[in-house]
Amino acid sequence: MKPFTIVVPAYNEEEILADNIKQLTSYLTPHTLYEIIIVSNGSTDSTEAIGRELEKKFPQVRSFALPEKSVGRAFKKGITEAKYEHIIFIDADLSADLVFISKANDLLDKNVLVLGTKIGGLQNRSLFRKLGSFVFYLSVLTIMGLRYADYAPGAKAYRKSFLEKYFNYIDDYTSFVLNLTFIAHVKKEPVAEVAIACDDRRISRFNLWREAASKYRGLFTLKFKQLTGSL
């Protein structure tokens, strides 16, 4: 198995970060070459301090902190700091089945992007979140013609060379998955999907209505760029 980088964005995750990173390192122990990059973004609790302690305790862990809450900026920081070609993006709550990591890492040998899809897997999520994901999937299918099922940031994997080539398509919010998927589609780059089990029952760290507005704004912006030839 090729070496890989895991990027974990963290916003006010003091209650779970230490235990979950320990769980992640235990799970990954058989893999000799990997790193975990924690990126605290805008945290107002002890997340940043916990990240520094984890960095001291585990040689595979590196921790960084950004002043503002931004998943996209956390992702970009992880990309620039990553040592390895294979980059896997995992949520701090480990809500996606960790088996995605090895599957995605293998698939990156022949694909530039691997999408973990909750719609195709076992979902332990609220009905509101399930409906929101499905409606967005239908919206993307109708507006952009993309048939991929999941554009949430978590449980996604990329080749670093692909991300560096299209770095300007990574926004500061959460539309970057859709942007990168569409670019890969247009450029006829190989993309793979993996159905994942998801256990996501905790209260979101983000305002879901604001996140939805951001996603649809990103969708319509992408369509406008396509129509005007500015992609």
Check: CB of residue 98 under 8 Å from CB of residue 27. yes
What's the start-to-end Cα distance of the chain, in Å? 35
CATH of the domain at 138: 3.90.550.10
| Parts of the chain with a pLDDT under 50 | none
* pLDDT in the model for residue 60: 96
Domain of 151 in residue numbering reads as 4-228
Handedness of CA 230, 75, 100, 219 (dihedral sign): negative
Instruction: Count CB-CB contacts under 10 A for residue 159.
Output: 19
The total domain count for the chain is: 1
Global pTM? 0.89
* pLDDT given at position 123: 58
What pLDDT digit, counting tens, does each position of 146-163 carry?
A: 999 899 999 999 999 999
- Could you tell me which residues come within 8 angstroms of residue 77 by beta carbon, excluding any fewer than 6 positions away? 37, 39, 64, 66
Say what the pLDDT of residue 46 is. Answer: 98
11 touches 45 (CB < 8 A): no
Average pLDDT, the chain: 90
